Amino acid sequence: MSQRIADMRRDYTREGLSEAQAPAEPFALFRRWFDEAVLTEQLPVEPNAMTLATVDDDGRPHCRVLLLKGLDERGFTFFSNYDSAKGQQLQANPFAAMTFFWPTLERQVRIEGRVERVSAEESDAYFQVRPLGSRIGAWASPQSQVIADRAELEGLLAETERRFLEQAPHCPPHWGGYRLLPERVEFWQGRPSRLHDRLNYRQVDGAWQFERLAP
């Protein structure tokens, strides 16, 4: 098995990423790459899927895949249960990193920065456009807590469905959005012979600067 893994490789053949293609700030380039990913990537790849990394009290990193749900000039927005493991980690250490990978385009984007909660109004506005099942699930599931078995979860779901039988579920107080405020954004474009293009944006004294990193 280990030898087969070691032999796995693919060459990258798409066009590169030059400094001439880099705008003054990273959001414009991210939007362009994201729009191209939406047009190019095919299911089961979800263009807005990203790996989110947080750190616990012992300094140990934790990763999971989430979906990006918003982007503006402030940062990158995702939603979760505030009482979940990631929520507790962000409460204790409000910094995170996220990575997007678009295999068809041979691209990835790495983003690092401080994380803050979005306003209650923003959380409620997004919650109301979620499918009904997802809204009920946000109330039913004690995310990241130990449960006995699947039957316990289904029992919690049935109880929650009865609770909201005659009224629409509102946004739970333990659920809402986070916004990652980027301090570093790296754009990675695969190139032949592993000589990849890496353009790195950094916040310096409130302004964006970019530089090329060796692959």
| Residues known to be catalytic | 194
Q: Binding-site residues, please?
A: 9-12, 64-69, 79-80, 86, 108, 126, 130, 134, 143-144, 188, 194-196, 198
Task: Say how far apart CA 174 and CA 180 lie, in whole Å.
Answer: 19
* Binding site residue list for substrate: 9-12, 69, 126, 130, 134, 194-196
Q: Annotated binding site for FMN: which residue ranges?
A: 64-69, 79-80, 86, 108, 143-144, 188, 198
Angle 66-211-183 from CA coordinates, rounded to 5°: 40
- Describe the chain by its helix, strand, coil percentages, rounded to 5: 30, 35, 35
Other beta carbons less than 10 A from residue 202's beta carbon:
16
- DSSP 8-class letter at 70: E
Provide the residue count of the chain. 215
Paired tokens of 138: 């946000």
- Neighbour-count burial for 18-55, b at 16+ CB within 10 Å, e otherwise: eeeebeebbbebbeebbeebeeebeeeeebbebebbbb
Residue with tokens 């693919």: 10
The DSSP letter of residue 51 is E
> Which among 177, 179, 169 is positioned nearest to 139, based on CA atoms?
169
